[in-house]
Amino acid sequence: MKKISSLLAAVALFSAAATAQNYTVTSPDGNIKAVVTLADGITYDVYHGNDLVLDDCRMSMNVGGKVLGSTPKIKNTQRKSVNEVKRPYIHLKYAEVPNNYNQMTLNMKDNYAVEFRAYNDGVAYRFVTKLGGEIEVYNEDITVYVPQESQLILQQSGSYRTSYEERYSFVKSNDWKSFDRMAHMPIFVTTPSNVKVLIAEADRCDYPAPFFRGNDASGFTSVFPAVTKVEKPRHDKANDVLLREAYIAKTKGTRSFPWRYFVISDDDAAFLETTMTCRLSQDSKIEDPSWVVPGQASWEWWNAAIPYGPDVDFVAGLNVETYKYFMDFASKYGIKYIVMDEGWAKDNMDPYTPNPACDLHEIIAHGKKVGVDVILWLTWRCVEENPGMFEKFAEWGVKGVKIDFMDRSDQWMVNFYERTVAEAAKHKIFVNYHGAFTPGGLEFMYPNLLSYEGVTGMEQMGGCKPENSIYLPFIRNAVGPMEYTPGSMFSTQPDVYSARRPNSGSIGTRAYQMALFVVFESGLQMLADNPTLYYNNDDCTRFISSVPVLWDETKALSAKVGDHVVVAKRSGDTWFLGGMTAERQQPLEMEITLDFLPEGKTFTLTSYEDGVNADRQAMHYKKNVKSVKKGDTVKIKMVRNGGYAAVIK
């Protein structure tokens, strides 16, 4: 009986192979290719040179009980090559982003298509449907197989309710079991041949964000939060979902779905420079976004709004005097904004009635005098239940909002993000999403969306360590803006850390903290510490407050995932250097060549470097100033959890 079963299986396999159709799309430089196979389903392989990095991956979509991709019947194939330049208004890496790819569209007979793009640094695919009317999507199968023993770097969650702030987990691909915790994008893969793959998505609209489970076969498969059917408020910051629908999305039947993309390289530096989310996202829907002014903000939450310098002769806290003090500090250093976090309003569900101690109009008026504007913190429930709020804020002179505690990525919440940022744009108000899912391109459609949190950032105090943060430039920040809230002036090594609000502290050296402003990318970059400490460390504060948030050019000078980052970034004619390391046995020493500088000019390089004792006393740094020119070399030495920050003028 077993022989007969084996024979039948072999015949079926031979029959499927005989009828399989292969379609290939190759990157413009010929180094990356995707081979798509149509047989009893749609599968694809992806090669980097001769290395097979994605093997027999599956894709399908269940629409109203019919699975698109289960028995694909090709109608025709379309191909095109594109070589253009995108110019995003909020440019966190490059003012001009080359967009060069080859595209293959497989049009199927059941009114759908799959589009594949091959770039010199990766591949992407998506479903496109022409079904008309409204459809219910019950599932989308995104199954990815990687070579055995590949190393996965994941953020794992126990449920669909997550703030996306989990620390990274490290799992072998064949050890991630189906009963283990889920993970969400982005996922970082290192194959045994040392090719790296960053897996993420772009152009996420009217559709939930996927999670993944291991599938016991050196791969992982998507699972999605279904549409909410019944929910009730838990408190002012969250709702409890009591019942969900059977489907994951109800949406238009004629549309394109989110891109699933893979950045692929054997050079770790490539992940610091990638712009894949930008290239795959829609262009701005705001015709003239010139009113959107990215920049830095002074933030009072981390330091509990208690400045204590010799000029503080008032009772500090959430009151007019304190916020004016923060504004005066911001004004002195050219910082554009202050954030008024939780407590500025009398009630978190009422955005129209300030805390009696916070005369918001007086604070805003003072800000106008000193050139500093206000950003107001809100819960998402407050925003949802007060639809006229943005119009009122615009009348008051509020410039931005920080919206918190979404902690979900189902279709309703994804749509909340877009509805909210679109409404804010009507009234020329920018948005920072805190307690947020990972960026997926909405920030390019609405450039008034300056940043997202969803990261183990410095507000986690001692839980925020360089051993985790060193991965952020390669993974989380590689897909979009990241609100980390750097800028601590109280620095320690992890073995001696002890701090809590209002005397908050960070792990990592002083030079490390300064470098984060160069390395990390956000359209709204917050200075988290106390004005008192910034005044006491004027040199450091002047450097930090001079670092732009928009960059015309980015160059990764040295990078190793999990070990170190050194980048150079240009704004206008000025270059900044930033380096960071994690825990290590010996200092990291290297030389970098300033071959990115223009010929025939002499520049001044001002650097902030780890002091000789910084491996024990993390506050120890040294400032150096010297003349440099194109082709000169600069020696960099970073201790454990250390850094390097410099400006070249």
CB of 165 within 8 A of CB of 151? no
Report the candidate in 391, 360, 356 with the shortest Cα–Cα distance to residue 375.
Answer: 360
**How many beta carbons lie within 10 A of that of residue 50, not counting itself?**
6
Our answer to whether residue 404 is catalytic in this structure is yes
- Residues with Cβ within 8 Å of 500's Cβ and at least 6 positions away in sequence, in order, are 461
Question: What per-residue confidence (pLDDT) applies to 62?
Answer: 98
CA distances in angstroms from 334 to 297, 330, 511, 542, 545, listed in the order given: 10, 6, 21, 9, 7
Sign of the alpha-carbon torsion through 506, 507, 510, 512: negative
Instruction: Report the distance separating Cα 285 and Cα 297, nearest Å.
Output: 26
Question: What per-residue confidence (pLDDT) applies to 13?
Answer: 45
Phi and psi at 498, nearest 5°, equal -160, 110
- Domain 284-453 superfamily per CATH: Aldolase class I (3.20.20.70)
CA distances in angstroms from 68 to 35, 129, 245, 445, 591, listed in the order given: 19, 9, 21, 28, 54
* CATH architecture assigned to 456-649: Alpha-Beta Barrel (3.20)
Phi and psi at 235, nearest 5°, equal -165, -165
- Helix (H), strand (E) at residue 303: none
Instruction: Report the distance separating Cα 190 and Cα 147, nearest Å.
Output: 9
Instruction: Report the distance separating Cα 478 and Cα 515, nearest Å.
Output: 17
Catalytic residue among 268, 459, 529, 615: 459
Tell me the whole-structure pTM to 2 decimals: 0.95
Our answer to whether residue 266 is catalytic in this structure is no
DSSP string, 378-412: EEHHHHHT-TTHHHHHHHHT--EEEEE-----SHH
Question: What per-residue confidence (pLDDT) applies to 316?
Answer: 97
Do domains 19-280 and 456-649 share one topology? The answer is no
DSSP β-bridge partners for residue 24 = 35
- What is the 3-state secondary structure of 580-593? EECCCCCCEEEEEE
Question: What per-residue confidence (pLDDT) applies to 240?
Answer: 93
Question: Hey, what CATH topology would domain 19-280 get?
Answer: Beta-galactosidase; Chain A, domain 5 (2.70.98)
CB of 94 within 8 A of CB of 555? no
- Residues with Cβ within 8 Å of 274's Cβ and at least 6 positions away in sequence, in order, are 121, 122, 198, 263, 478
Mean pLDDT per 10-residue segment, the chain (649 residues)? 41 55 98 98 98 98 96 97 98 98 97 98 98 98 98 96 97 95 98 98 98 96 97 93 96 98 98 98 97 98 96 97 98 98 97 96 98 98 96 98 97 98 98 97 98 96 97 98 97 96 97 98 98 98 98 98 98 98 97 97 98 98 98 97 98
CB of 160 within 8 A of CB of 408? yes
Report the candidate in 338, 346, 460, 474 with the shortest Cα–Cα distance to residue 400.
Answer: 338
Question: What per-residue confidence (pLDDT) applies to 4?
Answer: 41
**How many beta carbons lie within 10 A of that of residue 237, not counting itself?**
18
Phi and psi at 125, nearest 5°, equal -145, 160
Catalytic residue among 121, 203, 404, 453: 404
CB of 382 within 8 A of CB of 411? no
What residue segments make up the domains of the chain, in order of their start? Answer: 19-280, 284-453, 456-649
Query: Alpha carbon 248 to chain centroid distance?
Result: 24
Instruction: Report the distance separating Cα 29 and Cα 494, nearest Å.
Output: 45
